[in-house]
Structure 1
Amino acid sequence: MSINDMTVSAIVPVYNVEQYLERCLESIRNQTRPFDEVILVDDGSTDRSGKICEEWAFSNPTFHVVHQRNGGLSAARNKGVELYTGDCVAFIDSDDWIAKDFVEVLLNLLVRTDSDIAIGQWVRTDGEDGCPACSKVGRSRERVYEADEYMSMLLRIRGNRALHYAPSKLYRRSVVEDGHFPLGILNEDVEGAFKFALNASRVAETGRVLYYYYRNASSITGSSFGENYLNLSHVWQRVEAIAESRAPEWAEACGYNVMRADFTILCDMLLHGDEESDKRYSEERDACLGRLRGNMAMLLKGPMPINRKIAALIISAMYLKINHIIRKMR
C-alpha cells in the first residue's frame, strides 16, 4: 500500500482535562498531513471535557466522540482500538500535544522503511509553550531495528532507554489489534508496549522531537509512597507471564526487569515512605527484598549500571538499618 493510500487514526483518551484539552486538539487538527480520523474517548469526565469533545466533533468532520463510564486510561484506549478504522494509529494523551508534522514524519518513516512501528522523540515539559522544562529524550539520527534488536532495547538488555511509552509512536493496525492495554493498573504502557513489540517485525525511529508530554509541576515533587509505586513490579510480573506463554526466549529478560522494579520500589520506599507506609506495605517490602536477594546473581550479571548494582547489593543486605537511619533523620 502506498503512502497516499494509507489512512491514519488518532485515539485520544479524555478525562477531566478541560484546561489542556483544546491545546491537544488544536495540535491534532493543525497537522501538515491531516489525520483521517480522530477518536475522542470521554472516560466519564465530570468537568467540561465531554462538552469540549462534542463541540470539536460537531465542527470537525474527522473528529468523533464516544462517552463511557469512567474506567481509566486503558479502558479509554481500548475503546478507541475497538472503534478506529485507519491503517495505522497513534495514541495521544489529552493533556499533551504533538508537533505539526507528527503524522507526516512518522507515516513517511513507517512506509519508507517498511516498518510496523515508527517512533518519534518526546519532550517532557511543565511549560506552556512547548519548551522542555524537565527533561528530553532524544536521538540524533534515524535508526531502523529488526524485531529482536528492538525487543532487547525495550527490555533494556541493550541500553537503558524507556521505550515503553505508548504515545510518540505510529503503529500499523496489525500491531495493535490483539494487544489491548491491561485494565485497572498503572504503568499500563509497559505491558502494551511488550504486546505490540511481539507483533512487530521491524521498528523505525526518527531523531525528530514530535511529542510534548505535559507534566504539571505541582505533581512532580512531594508525593508520598503509596500503592502506585508498587505497581511497577506487578506489571513486569504480568509481562514475564506473557513472555513465558508467547515468547519464552524473552522470559528471563522480563524476570530481570522484575528485579529492577523491586529495587526501584525499595528505593522509593526509603525516600518517600514514612512509618505508616512502612507498616502498611511491610508484606510487599518483604516480597521485594526476597526476590531481590534470591536473584542477586542474575541482577549483577545483567546490564544495570554498576552504581545501581552496588546500591542494590547494599539495600538488599541492609534495608532495615538504612530505613531506620532515614526515619530518625526526618
Structure 2
Amino acid sequence: MTKIIMDTDPGIDDAAALSVAINNPELDVELVTTVAGNVTVDKTTINALKIINFFGKGTEIPVAAGAVQPLIKPFEDAARIHGESGMSGYDFHGELPKPLKETAVQAMYRVIMASDEPITLVATGSYTNVALLFAEYPEVKDKLERIVAMGGTLGCGNMTSAAEFNVFTDPHAAKMMYQSGVPIVMVGLDVTKKALVTPETLAEIETMNPAGKMLHDLIISDGDRNEHGVAMHDVNTIFYLLHPEFMTTKKLWIDIQTEGPANGETVADIRGAYHDGQTNADVCLDIDAEAFNDWFKAEVKKMK
C-alpha cells in the first residue's frame, strides 16, 4: 500500500481523482490539503470535505486548508471551467466534517515526519502549499518518496499558448518545487488531453452506483469538454501511481518561466545540453487512452 498526501484544489477533475484515491485499497490517503486554484481555498476546502463525506470517510481522512493565494503572482481562478462553487452539477447532502485547525503546511509536516515510511505527495492544484512546506521545513524532502504532480506541458498550454493552468497559477511555487531535489513525475497536458473520459464511459458510470451518478453529474458540468469526451486531468496522477505501465515517460530537466509572456511555461532541456545531463523529472509523454477509460470505469464500479 502506498501512503499518499493529496494536495488539491477541487475542481471537478480533482474531485474525481480524490474519489478514486480514497476508494482504492492500494492507496492510503493520510491527509488531504487544499489550495487556492480552480476556485478560492474556502471553496476548495468545502469541496474536498464534500467528496470525503460522500464516501463516509469524514472521520478517517483529515482535511487541512492551505494557501489562499499564490506566492507572488495575483490569483486567477478557473471558475469558468468548474463553476462558481468549483463543483457544479451535483447537490451534496449531509453535514460536513470540520477541517483541521492546523494549516496545510503544518499538517503536511506533521504527517510526513511521523510516517514510518516515505510518503508520496500527489499535487493536483497549484504548488503553493508544496513550496511553502519546503521553504519552512526543508527536512521533509528526505521523507518524501516522490511528487506526482498534475501540471505543465511540453506542447500547447491551456492558459496561454505556453502555460498550463496549475503552473501558470503559481509559477514561482512550481519553480521552487522543481528545484527541490525531490523526485517528480510531471503528469501534464501531453497525456491528460489524450486520456479523455469518453461519452461511452460517462454513460456507463451514470447507472453503475451512487458514486457513478455523482461523478457523471460533475463531469458533464465540466467546461473542458468536447464531442470526444472530457479531460479529467487530475485523475491521471492516480492512474500513473497505480498503472505506470500505461504511460510513456522520459527523464528531463524542467525549468519554469516566472515572468513575461511565457510566464508559467514548463521548459524541458530536451537535448540534455544545459544542465550537464542532469534531470529533475520523469515527464509523461504518452498514454493508453483506452486503458485509462477501462481503468476509470473499473474504479468507479468498486466505489461504495
Which TM-score applies when normalising by structure 2? 0.33
Q: When you count helix as a share of all residues, which structure comes out higher?
A: 1
Kindly name which structure, 1 or 2, has the bigger radius of gyration based on alpha carbons: 1
